[in-house]
């Protein structure tokens, strides 16, 4: 009987709750108001010919490389950051290699790395979710071939300092160090400028979050040109679809739109953190477009009560170290106002009789 590889059989199934997402979507860290109107205009102008042909990535790749200030030979457009992670794993990992990830973090590192047969070593963060750099360094071995770091991290919103990233990069010259900057726009610090000079550094960015293009599946993987030549060998020449390629230059050109959205998200994040504090709910300060809050034993009921009132949030209580935690994405100002009103109501409704929030 046909059997999948052992490494694949050992993978845990991952089914994010994508079904029936009606309401204000504060559950997947997406843009909540949509992409730039320029992108929608471009979509309306698409001609059949653009769909009939195989997509041609190169010219758009050059425009995107110039936007990010990197050598086009050191940058690849990808089918979202997910594909960038997959390509790194396919390029560098063999069965028996070691991969270091600090948990809780984004699930796809463990899945793609595990599928190669590499051994994924998970290192827990402290209770404050700060990055355990010393612990990570102590786990380096001659077999370490990949270190994946979400910066800011999902689901915690915590960040790793530039000096710690440098320490890791220097200490592991034979490992690919992937800095996943999916939430860069809400944070502002990046390692993108260093990719040319550090041969083991890779930086991933996405257009799924601030740019509002999660459905188009488009991201960027940047690295040293020699390394990226290897990564290109395992990538399909048609990995990014024609619609995404047609829209991306317009999305990048409308930086006013991104600035406005990001500014509202940052204000909203502060408002939400203040509100959680006022409601006496523990939370971890975030540099991304979401906040992780500790709801406690009633996390299930909380998520349900929010949903009943039209707001979707994500239960993260099964993530390591996140017992009782719920992640709440932040959107535009009016949505934050609505979120806060509903949050107050739900906390009041779930409080034990006689208690005041």
Quote the least distance from Cβ 215 to ligand PLP, whole Å: 9
CA dist., res. 331 & res. 345, Å (int): 19
The residue length of the chain stands at 357
- Write the interaction track for ligand PLP spanning residues 24-53; mark x where CB under 6 A is met and - where it is not: -----x------------------------
* Given 55, 74, 80, 157, the residue binding ligand PLP (CB under 6 A): 80
Number of residues that bind ligand PLP (CB under 6 A): 13
Question: CA angle at residue 20 from 350 to 240, to 5 degrees?
Answer: 125
- When the beta carbons of 61 and 180 are compared against ligand PLP, the nearer one is 180
Q: Binding to ligand PLP by residue 150, rule CB under 6 A?
A: yes
The nearest distance, CB 110 to ligand PLP, in angstroms, is 12
Question: Angle of helix 225-234 relative to helix 80-92, nearest 10 degrees?
Answer: 100
Interaction of residue 286 with ligand PLP, rule CB under 6 A:
no
Helices 37-45 and 242-253, packing angle to 10 deg: 140
What is d(CA 241, CA 247) in angstroms, rounded to the nearest whole number? 10
Q: Under DSSP, is residue 177 helix (H, G, I), strand (E, B) or coil? A: strand
Nearer to ligand PLP, 26 or 305 (CB): 26
For residue 219, state whether it binds ligand PLP (rule: CB under 6 A): yes
- Give the nearest distance from C-beta 191 to ligand PLP in angstroms: 14
Question: Shortest distance, CB of residue 277 to ligand PLP, whole angstroms?
Answer: 25
Q: Shortest approach of ligand PLP to residue 81 CB, angstroms?
A: 4
Kind of pairing between the strands at 290-294 and 282-284: antiparallel
Which residues from 228-247 bind ligand PLP, rule CB under 6 A? none
Minimum CB separation of residue 125 from ligand PLP in Å reads 15
Residue whose C-alpha is closest to residue 335's, from 311, 303, 351? 311
Is 110 a binding residue for ligand PLP by CB under 6 A? The answer is no
Q: In this structure, what token pair is assigned to residue 309?
A: 């009132």
Hey, how many other C-beta atoms are within 10 angstroms of the C-beta on 250?
A: 17
Q: Does 11 bind ligand PLP (CB under 6 A)?
A: no
Binding range to ligand PLP, per CB under 6 A, among 166-174, 206-214, 224-232, 268-276: 206-214
Applying CB under 6 A, which of residues 180, 273, 275, 319 lies at the interface with ligand PLP? 180
| Spatial CA neighbour of 223 closest among 68, 48, 60, 106 | 68
Q: Pick the stretch among 7-15, 75-83, 241-249, 339-347 that binds ligand PLP (CB under 6 A).
A: 75-83
> Is residue 70 within 8 Å of 117, Cβ to Cβ?
no
Considering only 32, 133, 200, 208, the residue that binds ligand PLP (CB under 6 A) is 208
What is the per-residue burial (b if ≥16 Cβ within 10 Å, else e) of 324-352? bbbbbbbbbeebbebbbebbeebbeebee
List interacting residues with ligand PLP (CB under 6 A): 29, 80-82, 106, 150, 154, 180, 182, 206, 208, 214, 219
């Amino acid at each position: 009987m046909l059997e999948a590889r052992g490494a694949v059989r050992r993978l845990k199934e991952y089914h994010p709750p994508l079904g029936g997402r009606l309401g204000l979507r504060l559950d997947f860290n997406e843009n909540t108001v949509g992409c730039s109107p320029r992108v929608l205009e471009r979509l309306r102008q698409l001609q059949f010919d653009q769909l009939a042909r195989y997509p041609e990535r190169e010219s758009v790749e050059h425009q995107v490389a110039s936007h990010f200030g990197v050598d086009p030979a050191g940058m690849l457009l990808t089918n979202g950051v997910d594909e960038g992670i997959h390509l790194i794993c396919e390029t560098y990992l063999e069965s028996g290699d070691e991969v270091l990830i600090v948990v809780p973090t984004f699930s796809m590192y463990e899945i793609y790395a595990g599928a190669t047969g590499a051994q994924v070593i998970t290192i827990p963060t402290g209770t404050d979710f700060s990055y355990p750099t010393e612990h990570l360094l102590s786990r380096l071995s001659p077999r370490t071939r990949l270190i994946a770091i979400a910066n800011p991290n999902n689901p915690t919103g915590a960040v790793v300092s530039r000096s710690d990233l440098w320490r890791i990069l220097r200490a592991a010259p034979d490992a690919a160090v992937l800095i996943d900057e999916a939430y860069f726009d809400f944070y502002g610090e990046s390692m993108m400028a260093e990719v040319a000079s550090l041969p083991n550094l890779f930086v991933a960015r996405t257009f799924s979050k601030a740019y509002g293009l999660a459905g188009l599946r488009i991201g960027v993987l940047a690295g040293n040109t020699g390394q990226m030549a290897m990564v290109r060998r395992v990538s399909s020449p048609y990995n990014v679809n024609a619609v995404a390629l047609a829209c991306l230059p317009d999305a990048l050109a409308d930086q006013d739109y991104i600035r406005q959205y990001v500014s509202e998200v940052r204000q909203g994040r502060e408002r939400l953190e203040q509100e959680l504090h006022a409601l006496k709910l523990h939370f971890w300060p975030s540099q991304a477009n979401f906040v992780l809050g500790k709801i406690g034993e009633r996390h299930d009921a909380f998520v349900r009560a929010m949903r009943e009132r039209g707001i979707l949030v994500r239960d993260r209580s099964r993530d390591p170290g996140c017992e009782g935690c719920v992640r709440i994405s932040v959107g535009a100002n009016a949505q934050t106002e609505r979120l806060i009103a509903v949050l107050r109501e739900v906390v009041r409704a779930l409080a034990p009789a006689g208690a005041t929030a």
